Amino acid sequence: MSTETYPSGRPADRLRDGDRPVAHAPSAAARKAGGVAGWIDDRTSAAKGVNYLLRKVFPDHWSFMLGEIAMYSMIVCLLSGALLTLWFVPSAGHTVYDGSYVPLRGQGMSEAYASTLNISFDIKGGLIIRQIHHWAALMFIIGLTVHMFRVFFTGAFRKPRELNWVIGSVLALLAIIEGFAGYSLPDDLLSGTGIRAMEGFVQTAPVIGSYLAYAIFGGPFPGEMIIPRLYSAHVLLIPAILVGLFTAHIVIVALQKHTQFPGPGRTNDNVVGYRVMPVYAAKAGGFFFIVFGVIALIAGLFTINPIWAYGPYDPSPVTAGSQPDWYMGFADGALRLLPGWLEFEFFGFTLSLNIALGALVLLPLVYTVLGAYPFFERWVTGDNREHHLLERPRNNPTRTGIGMAGITAYSVFFFAAGNDIMAIKLGLSINDITWIFRIGLFVFPVLAFWVTKRICLSLQRRDRETVLHGFESGRIIRGADGSFHERHDPLNKYDQWILVQHEPATPMQLTAEADENGVASPAARKDRLRAKVSQWWYKDAVNPVTPAELAAAHHDGHEAEALEAPLDYEGIEGRQDHAGGEGGEGADTDVKRDDESDRDSDVDSGIGSASRLRE
Amino acid sequence: MNEQDSPTTGSEVAQQGEFGSGAVRLDEGHVVGEGGIPDRFTNPGFPPHIHRGTDLDPRAARRAERVIGGLFLLSVLGTIGFVVAYFAIDKRAAVFVPGIGDMNALHLALGVTMALSLLGIGLGAVHWAKTLMPDEEEVEMRHPMRSADEDRAKFGEILAEGAESAHLNRRPLIKYALGGALGLFAVPVVLPVIGGLGPLPGDDLSVSYWNGEQEQDGSYPNPKMRLMRDPQNTPIRASDVTIGSVFHVMPEGLLDLEEGILEEKAKAAVLLMRLDPDDIKSQKQKDWGYQGIVAYSKICTHVGCPVGLYEQQTHHLLCPCHQSTFDVTQDCKVIFGPAKRPLPQLPITVDDEGYLISRGPFKEAVGPSFWERGSA
């Protein structure tokens, strides 16, 4: 056996003939693993699956950590929340406080509030756990929100990941409901006012409002049922759904493999990155501790929700500047913006759309629109292929614009929830601020869409210019005729690839409206809207440089101002596409064409205007 | 297939302005040169790997090792510090932190040491991965999510066969009976929930403590009740109420309740203000008040927050939750914000001893709107 493996050509090798092969003893670590892992594997045959998971490759990018932040914050919430249940008493039952916080001693309050004070002042380390729980909850929702931004703007939600996007949207909605429920539990004046408002929201549900409110609160507001009920939702019902959906979310990620950003060597068929063992085990595992550590540090340094300062809940007093936690801000802002005339009375019945629209409709509407977005985009683009490569946001200007418009609308609602604070801090009239937001809700998103799209197109044009003309080297070269020009260094092929890898725009084609016999096609009528939207989607598209365009740019000889002069060499069809000043095909690109030496404009053509070069 | 490398064929350039007819479908390719130049760039493959300092220089690697070890040790120190702080620091001790202010010393120490303990592990592990663990990226191939056609076909077959062998189609009785059973089985679970969640509201939302205790026949006595200061629980003389002052008021007896005090407060809370009678623009408001003293429900008609902010100069009431603004000189009409209805007024007068009393309950439901509020 060993003789076969050694080449017998060299004399020295013959000396080894007849040697017995060395049987390598398993290393100590392997033996040990064999002991424990072997015991488990004997009973589960898990080795194969675990091996596969340990060897799994994950791509690396800082933005992929955003989801991790959400995941780890959620775990921190679960851990710290489990500890808080040891001391928290979910009861609205009346008690008199006799703990160590002097200002409230002797005051009547609910057991929930008293036990929260107890956690904050009398249990050593209780306050840090409470603060970690609250900060982790905020971090969870911030993390998942920014994670959604990343997924949205890079198009990671495209097939086959629409399902995971929908799951993620549900998770996001559940997270803020979970947050609201938890925020309400201490039964302090601020959160109690939040529940009061929530009761008002429920009352305005058409027809069944008062019945619904009495069912939820177990009678008149506030009653003694709402705290235990919110508690059961907060620690059992919603977390169970949250963890279940989150698990599905992660399993699907593993199943579909992670998306990756485009780059040299990265294709739609592979995934390039590091293996779980050891790199991601250390990086992701370490990152859990970093997230936890940062939360602990914030919790130690910055007090959030000092419930002792608010006092116990009472329906009569109120504090100025009453606001919910930030993630409920947009709904609260909507309530502040909706005008009162949206309440109607007819036949003795009252329909309060001024409340119901903001409180009952907005939240589900936002998350339905969010969840439905991938299906809308697929309908517009007609793209039914699997996508595992992310898009750079600039390469999909319309989507990026829509995303920014959405964020802007959200922000208007969000900042509207602080209109009173802004009025005080900025010394402005609250009425003016509210009106600016009311109008801004309709104006700002449109502006944001337009500005974002223009920025994306400009960035794409700059990419084109970089590919076509390279980098300015700073070296001035004098020509034989005494002219000067600056030498441009070409990009290397790896940098270039990132700028040219994306797909050219391809709007939907409208099928013929009538067949050859003049019979109208019903499908065409149905598709007309779709084609229109698709045209709007791809309007002004800037396409990546093609090799032909690059060749044409280089052909000019100066390597610098490649397409400045009208192209006049032979063999090019469609010369009008490139003749300086004549205008390419991209409607939008003509706009900047008047610039006398605007190099990019000459090559910057719209859809389907690549040069057709015959050589 | 790599979407970037997909060879697209086509011979004609789609012309601008002809989207409707000439535009190419997504999967039909784009623009193709015909002269030997490919229509798209091709993926250049991986760039040459650049080694890290720690790969090339053993001293750098040793340095990294020391940093990683140091970070892990820092974590141990943090943990020890946490334990020491837990036992050593009194839970009432305060400490001044520049930029933040006075803080609970124990809380601060626990937070910071815990953060050290966690960050030491986290930063150490990440630094380890970044400096000493392999940094050459590896490639794993993807496979289409779609199962093979035969598997998909087989799935349908198995379902059909299963249904067939279970006699599902041949015995419709079973099918429909099972359907009915499955459709109804949740009822025993759901019914007690719906039935037991809470009582029906009845007229509860439309009456308040000012209506008095409900009689056997369902009517209310609508007694005259003294207006009591909240929380002092003392009656108010008309002469105590000066122009510009505002009183938080509860009906007589409410604050002595043993049970259900919050529920009653949530509907009965009243604000009492005195205006110059000449400032009052509504005759009804004057009639229901007493010499310019007027009483209004404190519960916002928007979503029920207490309308807690009174501007003495303008006689505006502002709700701090959503900034609905009510003008007291105009019968608490909404002059700004999301509320629609004015705050309900409580008719008042004085009794023989000069104390303010109600002349009856609110004439409408207080607080947020609900569907049947007008019909009660």
Q: How much is the average pLDDT of A446-468?
A: 95
Which CATH code for domain B205-375? 2.102.10.10
How many CA within 13 A on the CB side of residue A21?
9
If you write DSSP's letter for every residue of B296-317 in order, what string do you get? EE-B-TTT--B--EEETTTTEE
Contact at CB, B20 and A535, closer than 8 angstroms = yes
Contact at CB, B23 and A508, closer than 8 angstroms = yes
Q: With a cut of 60, say whether residue A578 has pLDDT above it.
A: no
Please give the residue of chain B at the shortest CA–CA distance from A498: B43
| pLDDT tens digit sequence for A372-400 | 999 999 999 988 999 999 999 999 999 99
DSSP state of B235: B
pLDDT of residue B128: 96
Distance of CA B29 to the CA centre of its chain: 48
Contact at CB, A222 and B337, closer than 8 angstroms = no
Q: With a cut of 70, say whether residue A26 has pLDDT above it.
A: no
Write the residue in A122, A265, A286 that is nearest to B43 by C-beta.
Answer: A265
Contact residues, chain A, for B74 at CB < 8 Å: none
Contact residues, chain A, for B139 at CB < 8 Å: 57, 265, 270-272
- Cβ–Cβ contacts within 10 Å for residue A349, how many? 15
| pLDDT tens digit sequence for A488-531 | 888 899 999 999 999 888 887 766 666 667 776 666 666 788 88
Locate A340 and state its tokens. Answer: 């009162």
pLDDT of residue A333: 92
Is A166 an interface residue toward B (CB < 8 Å)? no
pLDDT of residue B10: 36
User: What are the Cα distances from residue A437, in Å, to A360, B141, B336?
Assistant: 21, 50, 14
Please give the residue of chain B at the shortest CA–CA distance from A278: B133
* Min distance B165 CA to chain A CA atoms (Å): 33
Alpha helices for A110-237 (secondary structure H): 111-121, 126-153, 162-184, 189-203, 209-217, 226-232
| pLDDT tens digit sequence for B107-137 | 999 999 999 999 999 999 999 999 999 988 8
| pLDDT tens digit sequence for B270-301 | 999 999 888 898 899 999 999 999 999 999 99
pLDDT of residue A10: 57
Contact residues, chain B, for A302 at CB < 8 Å: 100
Contact at CB, A210 and B370, closer than 8 angstroms = yes
Contact residues, chain A, for B368 at CB < 8 Å: 199-200, 203-204, 352, 355
Alpha helices for A329-418 (secondary structure H): 329-337, 353-356, 362-381, 397-416
Please give the residue of chain B at the shortest CA–CA distance from A101: B92
DSSP state of B40: S
Residue A109 has phi, psi (to 5 degrees) of -165, 175
A335: nearest Cα among A322, A318, A349? A322
The pairing of beta strand B101-104 with beta strand B138-141: unpaired
| pLDDT, chain B, mean | 87
Residue A556 confidence class, pLDDT cut points 50, 70, 90 = low
Angle at B182 between CA B176 and CA B187, to 5 degrees: 130
Q: Which percentage of chain A shows pLDDT scores above 70?
A: 82
Buried-state track A554-593, b at ≥16 Cβ within 10 A, e below 16: eeeebbbbbbeeebeeeebebeebbbbeebbbbebbbeeb
Sheet strands (E) in A213-340 = 270-275
Is B224 an interface residue toward A (CB < 8 Å)? no
Q: A355 and A201 in contact (C-beta within 8 Å)?
A: yes
**Can you tell me the ipTM of this complex?**
0.86
Give the domains, in start order, of chain A with CATH numbers. 57-261+271-334+350-390 (1.20.810.10), 488-510+520-613 (no CATH)
Q: How far apart are CA B125 and CA B134, in angstroms?
A: 14
- Cβ–Cβ contacts within 10 Å for residue A167, how many? 17
Q: Which residue has the tokens 């070069």?
A: A613
Q: How much is the average pLDDT of B93-102?
A: 88
Kindly list the domain boundaries of chain B, sorted by start residue. 1-44, 56-131, 205-375
- pTM score over 0.90: no
Locate A466 and state its tokens. Answer: 């970089």
Residue A552 confidence class, pLDDT cut points 50, 70, 90 = confident
Q: How much is the average pLDDT of B338-363?
A: 93
Contact at CB, B139 and A218, closer than 8 angstroms = no
Where is pLDDT greater, at B16 or A328?
A: A328
Q: B272 and B246 in contact (C-beta within 8 Å)?
A: yes
**B-contacting residues in A 317-346 (Cβ below 8 Å):** 317-322, 332, 335-343, 345
Q: How far apart are CA A298 and CA A294, in angstroms?
A: 6
Q: How much is the average pLDDT of B308-332?
A: 90
Contact at CB, A352 and B369, closer than 8 angstroms = yes
**For the CA atoms of chain A, what is the radius of gyration?**
32
Q: With a cut of 60, say whether residue B98 has pLDDT above it.
A: yes
Locate B293 and state its tokens. Answer: 């003293």
Q: How much is the average pLDDT of B307-315?
A: 88
Q: A381 and A387 in contact (C-beta within 8 Å)?
A: no
